[in-house]
Amino acid sequence: MRASLAVVLFSVSAAALAADAGEIKVVSGAAHIERGSERLAARVGMPVQEADRVVTGADGTVGITFADNSLLSIGPGSSFAIDRYVFDSTTHAGKFDSTLSKGTLAVVSGKMVKQSPEAMHVRTPSAIMGVRGTDFVVRVTDH
């Protein structure tokens, strides 16, 4: 019985850890995470997960380091969604799909893109960008 309980607890813990795609390293100004029906104030050390939306106010910025060491900086007045994030730390294979609905995003890609250049995509209201290089900036305006 105890062994079964230990296996269940380990499975739940492993699933919870697997759900974390990265961690917020920097927050300035107004910013929050929309996770399901929750709206959580963004704070340094907070994990980000697949399906999270990061929203910044007019004075807000958020810096995130992902499991593959990709670095994202989300600028003021932005809405950025992590649509899919899967990363194998052993093989460096994975998939990172995201959507920038408005605002700005600066990216320095990590191990995943170095392993598989087609692994990362950023969707905007007017285009889908496949990442082939190591760093880039995207801006979505209301025009």
Checking if the pLDDT of 5 tops 90, the result is no
Quote the tokens at residue 89. 């730390």
pLDDT digits (tens, 9 = 90+) for 114-139: 888 889 999 998 866 666 556 667 77
Question: What's the pTM value of the predicted model, to 2 decimals?
Answer: 0.82
CA dist 55 and 133 (Å) reads 26
- Domain 21-140 is found in CATH 1.20.120: no
Buried b (16+ CB within 10 A) or exposed e, 9-20: eeeeeeeeeeee
> Which tens digit of pLDDT belongs to each residue from 57-92?
999 999 999 999 999 999 999 999 999 999 999 999
Q: What's the rounded Cα separation, in Å, for the pair 120 and 128? A: 10
Alpha-carbon torsion (86, 91, 92, 97), positive or negative? negative
Q: Write out the two tokens for 97.
A: 């799909």
